Amino acid sequence: MTALCLICRHRTTTHADEYACPICTDDLRAWLTDLPRQAALLQEFVAPGSRPAEGRLGGTGRAHSPAPADLRVLTLLGPGRYDPHPGTDDDGTPPIHAVLTAWAGHIAYTYPAAHRDPYGTARTEPCEQAWPSYGFTIPGWCAWLTAYLPYTLTLPAVADLHRDLGDLIRRIRDLTHDHPHTHPMAAPCPACQAFALARTDGHWHTRCHACGHTLTPDQYAHHAAEVLDAHQASDGTAA
Ligand SMILES: [Zn+2]
Ligand SMILES: [Zn+2]
């Protein structure tokens, strides 16, 4: 049994107790992988010439200050708080670090209520705070959120996480102009036969843009080999 994806509302989830389909889950993984790199690109706006933006900048650092950095960049990289609860729509730009820590906190807080350990025993110890093993940094929080993604998929709030991270990465990419590329695939879609299969950088699945059919890399490789075999066989009979 599977359920309807709460995010796209037209594909189904892999497991009945999940709320996100494989394609929407792909988005989350790809964004969490790309965020540290995007944040590093933003840092370059603030500190050109690879000079660290933080730390003890002396008077010499300020002497070479370029034009004032875009306020949106400073806000995205700055401190501040963020409330991930649905319904608190705020049109302002939320800081990256605040969005990630707020979500990690929210997920960690709900963790004991629903989680069972690998032996099937319900966990009762509280998990009130998230501790990223790579530090309280943007890469650290992205690694934490990626590690907890299988659990997060079982929370309806995954739809809000998808919206928040999607908004965040779009805001950042508007500033960095660094967008992922989509590569068309050679073989036609096995479901609808359209030549509309494509794979986007950072995404696991190949997807048909005509009918929405999805393939894992292994499934696509197998399918492409079959298409090639069939093509060569028909060439053989025609000759
Ligand atoms: Zn979906
Ligand atoms: Zn298709």
Which ligand sits nearest to residue 211's alpha carbon?
2
Cα–ligand 1 centroid distance for 202 (angstroms): 17
CA angle 162, 164, 169 (to 5 degrees): 95
Cα–ligand 2 centroid distance for 199 (angstroms): 13
Of 188 and 128, the structure prediction assigns the larger pLDDT to 188
The model's pLDDT over 139-159, given as tens digits with 9 standing for 90+, comes to 999 999 999 999 999 999 999
pTM over 0.85: no
Which ligand sits nearest to residue 6's alpha carbon?
1
Q: Which helix or strand (DSSP H or E) is residue 182 part of?
A: strand 182-184
Which ligand sits nearest to residue 166's alpha carbon?
1
User: Alpha carbon of 52 to those of 19, 75, 131: distances in Å?
Assistant: 40, 17, 25
| Relative orientation angle of helices 138-147 and 96-114, to the nearest 10 degrees | 30
Cα–ligand 2 centroid distance for 197 (angstroms): 7
Which ligand sits nearest to residue 24's alpha carbon?
1
Which ligand sits nearest to residue 196's alpha carbon?
2
Token digits of residue 234 = 């028909």
The model's pLDDT over 71-107, given as tens digits with 9 standing for 90+, comes to 889 889 988 777 765 544 455 778 999 999 999 999 9
The model's pLDDT over 32-63, given as tens digits with 9 standing for 90+, comes to 999 999 999 999 888 765 444 444 444 444 44
Ion ligand 1 — residues with CB < 5 Å:
5, 7-8, 11, 21, 24
| Alpha helix positions (H), 71-157 | 71-77, 96-114, 138-147, 149-152
So what's the pLDDT on residue 96? Answer: 95
Alpha-carbon span 234 to 229, nearest angstrom: 9
Cα–ligand 1 centroid distance for 102 (angstroms): 23
Which ligand sits nearest to residue 28's alpha carbon?
1
